[in-house]
Chain A
Amino acid sequence: MNSKNVPFYKPQGNEVELFEHAYNNQLPLLIKGPTGCGKTRFIRHMAAKLDRELYTVACHDDLTAADLVGRHLINEQGTYWCDGPLTRAVREGAICYLDEVVEARKDTTVVLHPLTDDRRILPIERTGETLEAPDEFMLVVSYNPGYQNLLKGMKPSTRQRFTGVSFEFPDKQTEIYVLLAETDVDKATAEKLVSLANAMRALKDHDLEEAASTRLLIYAATLIASGLPIQQACKAAMVEPLTDDKETIDALMEVVNALLG
C-alpha cells in the first residue's frame, strides 16, 4: 500500500503518535468521541499508514460472541468452521476495529478480555483452538459517550483493559482545513459553515440530541460545491438530520440565515 491510498486525516492532537506507540507495544486502544468526528476515518488512516489489513465490525445489540469469533456452518458436505472477523484479524495480524462497542451485548465484550491483556490470546471454545495474537494484531474499539441507551454502557472491567483517547470535534482551523481538503468548497464558505456548526453545537443537550458533526459539515460543503444554494444545502445536511421537530427546524434555519447571510 502506498501513501496515495492512505485516507486523508488531519490530526487534532497527538492521536497519531499515541496510536503508533500503542501499536508498537501491542496495547489495545479505546476511542471515545461524538458521532461523525472522525473516529472511523482515523482508524482507516492509521491502518493504511501502518500497512495493516482492517477488519471493522459495526456492533449492534444482537451481536454475539459467535459473530466475532466464528462458528460452525453447514454445507452439503457437513459442518465446517468459519472464522469471525476477530479471529481472522488475529490469524492475519490485522487491526480489528469494533465500532460502537457499547451496542454489543455484554457477554460479547468478555471474549475480548484475554486478547486485551498481556496474554494476547483468543481461545476458541468450539474448536478447542487457542490463537496467539501476533505482534501486528491490534484491537481498537470506539464508542460515543454522548449517545447511550439508558441501559447500555461499557463494563469497567472491559474499559480498564484499554488505553484511551478522546476525540472532540476539531477546532475551527482544523475543521476548515478538513472541509477544504475533503470538498471543493471555497475558503470563505468553509469558514461560514464551521462557525455555523459551532453555533449549533452549543445547542447540544438542550435543543438537540446530538451536535452537528464534521461529517454533516462535509456533506453540506459537498452539496454547496456541487451547486446547491448554501441555505438549502445547510438545511438538507445540517438541520434536517439533527431534528424532526418542526419548530426546532425553523429555529435552526433562523440561525443559518443569521450566520450565513
Chain B
Amino acid sequence: MEERVGEIWHNFITRMADKNYPEAEVKLVDIKKTVGVFFRALGGDGALSVLQTDASEYSSERGLLRRIARSTEKYEFAWLDEGALRLPEVIDYFATKTLNKELYLWLAALSSIPKQSADWLLDNQQRTQLALRAYPGLKALYQRLLNAHLSQRPEIDKISKAERAAEVLIVAALKNPGSVSELPPSKYMPRLVLLWLHPSPPVSQTEVAKDLGDSDNQRSGQEKDATDIGKKQAKRVETPEVARGLITIRMENLFTWGEFANMDRSTDDDEDPDNAKDVAKDLDELAIARNQRASKVQMKFDLDLPSEAMDDEILASGILLPEWDWKTQTLIENKCQVVSLVSSHEQDTQLPEHLKATAKKLRNQFQAITPARTWHYAQNDGQEIDMDAYLKYKTDALAGHSDGKVNLYKSLDSGARDLSCLLLADLSLSTDTWVNDDSRVIDVIQDSLYLFAESLKATGDRFGMYGFSSRKTNPIRIHTLKAFDEPYNGQIRSRIADIKPGYYTRMGAGIRHATSLLKNQVAMQQLLLVLTDGKPNDLDQYEGRYGIEDTKQAILSAKALGLKVFCVTIDEKANDYLPNLFGANGYSLVKKVTDLPKMLPMLYARLTI
C-alpha cells in the first residue's frame, strides 16, 4: 500500500515538475535513419552509427517542485564519440512534433562540426556559428528552436541571484553565438541548454590518447605494475586527477578485466574494493581508465567454451595474417595466426530428412537456370543467318507461298559461366542462441550450408565452404567444410553435421584467409559470400570500431584483388554498420532467421545470373 501511494505521488509530482510534452514526443528509433543521413551529408563520419545516449547527471539549480520530485536530475545529452553519434532516446521538450524532430536534426548538425574548443561554452557557441554559416537553411530552424527554448528558460527574477548572471550570459550566448567567453564561477551548472551538446561527454579513447600525448610527463607514471597484488600488467591508463596524486592502482578505477569489453556492471560500483582486488589477482593484465564521476567496473569473461577443439584435426597452423589498426591507420603484419581445422570423424552422412524435399526442389530449380550456351534457331534477330530457315524461306518464296515469317537468324545465348564461390560462415558462440523452440542459429546455418551445397552442386559452379571463429588473434579457427577441389558428398555432409558454435568473430581475419583461398581459384569470377549473425567482435579491442575498420580493410583488399564480396546476415541491426562495410548493395539482411536456408541459394542465384 505504501509503495502504491509512493508511486502515485512520484508520478504526480514528476508530472508537475516536468514541463515536457509526451504527446509530441519524437523517438530516436523512428528518425534514426533520417538523422544518420543528415549527419553524414553534413560531413559526419560514415563509420559512426547513430545510437541512443545514456542519461547523465546534471546538477543545475532547480525549482522547488523539481527538487521535491527527484533527488538528482538526469538528462540525455547528445555527444559524439569514436564509435557513434549519441542522441537522446526521446525528445519531448517542445509542444510540437516538428520542433522536437528539428532538435534532433540540430543536434546532429552541431555534432557534424569538428570540436572547436575544450571549453563547453565556447565549443557550443562556435559550433553553432559554423553550422549556421555553412548551412543557411538551418538559420530558420535554429530561430524556431531558440524561440521555443527561450520561452522555457526560467524567468530571470525567479531564479536565485547567484545564478542570474550565468543565465543572462547563457541567453546571450544562445541569441548571439560567440558573444560570451566565460561564465561566472558557480557551484551549479547553468540551467539546462537543450540546444547544445553534452557539457562533459565521456572521454573517448582517441581523446585520452591525445591528452596523454599532450603531457608526456603525466603519462609516464601511469603504466605501472600493480605491485600490491603481485605482478600484474597494467594497460592504457588515464590521467589521474591531480588532487589524488600518483597512485599505483586504484581499485575503483578498475575499468576492464583482461581486455576491454562491453559489459557494464555499474551497479557493482566500488562497494568493496577488496573484491575487485581479488579479481584482479587472477588476471594477466589490468587496464585502468579514467572515470567520469561515478566509477564503473566493466568486466568481460573469457566465456566457458565448448570443447570442440578436441574433436577437430588440425590441418595446418601458423598461417599469419595482418590486421588493420585504424587508430594508427597501419596494417600490422603477422598479427593473427590461423589454425586450419577439419572435422576428425568423417563418415558417409545423408542429408537430414527435413531438408530432402527442399533440396530436391532447389536442385531442380538450379539445374534449370544453369546457363548452357546454345544456338537458338529461327530467331528474328541474331548474329548469324540460320541457313535452314533461310533455305526454307527462299524455297517457299520461289514456290510462291511465303508465309511472311522472317525468323531467319540464329543467336548464341547465355554463356556458360566460369565462377568460383567461397561461402564463409560465422561459427562464433553467438550462433548458439535459440531462434525458436526447436532450433538455434547454428542449426539454421547448418541447414543453410546443406541447401547451399545441394544447389551449387546442381549448377556446376566451383565452390568451397569454410567456417570461422576466433579467440583473439591466435587462433583464428578456420574449419574446412568443403575445399574447392573436393566433391560434395557424404563426407562433406558429415563435416557440416559436425559444426558447433564456439569463440568469437574476428571477421577481418576470416575474410583475409578466405580471400587467400579464393584468389588461387582459376575462374573468371570469384565470389566471396560471408554468412554471419552479427558484428565483428572478439575478446580484445576488436569489439566496436576497431573490428569494423579492420573488417572494412579486409573487404577492400579482397575487392582490390578482383573478388566480389557479399554478406548475408540475420542481425537486425545490420543496417547500421553493414552498408559501411559492404556497401549499400553489398549485403542482404534476412529478417526471418528460419528463412535463411531457403533464401541463401536464392540469393546466390540472384547475385550471379
Answer yes or no: are A and B bound together in one complex. Answer: yes
A residues sitting closer than 8 Å to B (CB atoms) are 62, 64-67, 71-72, 74, 79, 105-107, 150-151, 153, 155, 199-200, 202-203, 205-209, 247-248, 250-252, 254-261
Can you identify 30 A-B contacts, CB atoms within 8 angstroms? A64-B383, A65-B383, A66-B383, A66-B384, A74-B385, A79-B385, A105-B415, A106-B524, A150-B527, A150-B607, A155-B524, A200-B41, A202-B43, A205-B580, A205-B584, A206-B46, A206-B580, A206-B584, A207-B579, A208-B584, A209-B584, A250-B34, A251-B41, A255-B37, A255-B42, A257-B137, A258-B137, A261-B135, A261-B137, A261-B139
A261 CB to closest chain B CB (Å) equals: 4
Asked whether, in the complex, the Cβ of A207 is within 8 Å of the Cβ of B36, the reply is yes
- On chain B, the residues within 8 Å of A254 by CB distance are 34, 37-38, 105
Excluding A65-B383, A260-B137, 20 further A-B contacts by CB distance (< 8 Å) are A64-B412, A66-B383, A74-B406, A74-B408, A105-B415, A106-B524, A150-B527, A150-B566, A199-B43, A203-B37, A205-B583, A207-B36, A207-B40, A207-B579, A251-B34, A252-B37, A254-B34, A255-B41, A258-B138, A261-B137
Task: Give the 3 A-B CB pairs with smallest separation, nearest first.
Answer: A251-B37, A261-B137, A66-B383
- On chain B, the residues within 8 Å of A71 by CB distance are 383-385
B residues sitting closer than 8 Å to A (CB atoms) are 33-38, 40-43, 46, 105, 109, 135-141, 382-385, 390, 393, 406, 408, 411-413, 415, 417, 419, 524-525, 527, 562, 564, 566, 579-580, 583-585, 607-608
Asked whether, in the complex, the Cβ of A248 is within 8 Å of the Cβ of B33, the reply is yes
Please, how many angstroms separate the alpha-carbon atoms of A208 and B584 in the complex? Answer: 7
Which residue of chain B has the shortest Cβ distance to A65 in the bound complex? B383
Which residue of chain A has the shortest Cβ distance to B139 in the bound complex? A261
Total contacts A-B at CB 8 Å:
113
A102 CB to closest chain B CB (Å) equals: 13
Please, how many angstroms separate the alpha-carbon atoms of A248 and B35 in the complex? Answer: 10
Which residue of chain A has the shortest Cβ distance to B415 in the bound complex? A105
Asked whether, in the complex, the Cβ of A261 is within 8 Å of the Cβ of B585, the reply is no
A146 CB to closest chain B CB (Å) equals: 10
Please, how many angstroms separate the alpha-carbon atoms of A64 and B136 in the complex? Answer: 52
A200 CB to closest chain B CB (Å) equals: 6
| Given A150-B607, A260-B137, CB of A248 within 8 Å of CB of B564 | no
Asked whether, in the complex, the Cβ of B564 is within 8 Å of the Cβ of A150, the reply is yes
Please, how many angstroms separate the alpha-carbon atoms of A71 and B385 in the complex? Answer: 9
Please, how many angstroms separate the alpha-carbon atoms of A125 and B51 in the complex? Answer: 63
- On chain A, the residues within 8 Å of B527 by CB distance are 150-151
Which residue of chain B has the shortest Cβ distance to A67 in the bound complex? B383
Please, how many angstroms separate the alpha-carbon atoms of A206 and B36 in the complex? Answer: 10
| Given A74-B408, A151-B419, A206-B579, CB of A247 within 8 Å of CB of B135 | no
Please, how many angstroms separate the alpha-carbon atoms of A106 and B419 in the complex? Answer: 14
Which residue of chain B has the shortest Cβ distance to A196 in the bound complex? B41
| Among A67, A71, A247, A258: residue with most chain B CB under 10 A | A258
Please, how many angstroms separate the alpha-carbon atoms of A74 and B394 in the complex? Answer: 11
The one of B41, B138, B412, B419 in contact with A252, judged by C-beta atoms closer than 8 angstroms, is B41
Asked whether, in the complex, the Cβ of A207 is within 8 Å of the Cβ of B139, the reply is no
Asked whether, in the complex, the Cβ of B141 is within 8 Å of the Cβ of A258, the reply is yes
The one of B41, B135, B608 in contact with A150, judged by C-beta atoms closer than 8 angstroms, is B608
- On chain A, the residues within 8 Å of B390 by CB distance are 74, 79
| Among B137, B415, B562: residue with most chain A CB under 10 A | B137
Please, how many angstroms separate the alpha-carbon atoms of A248 and B37 in the complex? Answer: 7
Asked whether, in the complex, the Cβ of B562 is within 8 Å of the Cβ of A153, the reply is yes
Which residue of chain B has the shortest Cβ distance to A247 in the bound complex? B33
Please, how many angstroms separate the alpha-carbon atoms of A62 and B381 in the complex? Answer: 12
Please, how many angstroms separate the alpha-carbon atoms of A206 and B37 in the complex? Answer: 9
| Given A202-B43, A206-B40, A251-B36, CB of A258 within 8 Å of CB of B525 | no
- On chain B, the residues within 8 Å of A260 by CB distance are 136-137
Asked whether, in the complex, the Cβ of B40 is within 8 Å of the Cβ of A258, the reply is no
The one of B37, B136, B525 in contact with A259, judged by C-beta atoms closer than 8 angstroms, is B136
B378 CB to closest chain A CB (Å) equals: 13
Please, how many angstroms separate the alpha-carbon atoms of A150 and B138 in the complex? Answer: 40
| Given A65-B383, A66-B384, A106-B524, CB of A258 within 8 Å of CB of B38 | yes
Asked whether, in the complex, the Cβ of B46 is within 8 Å of the Cβ of A202, the reply is yes
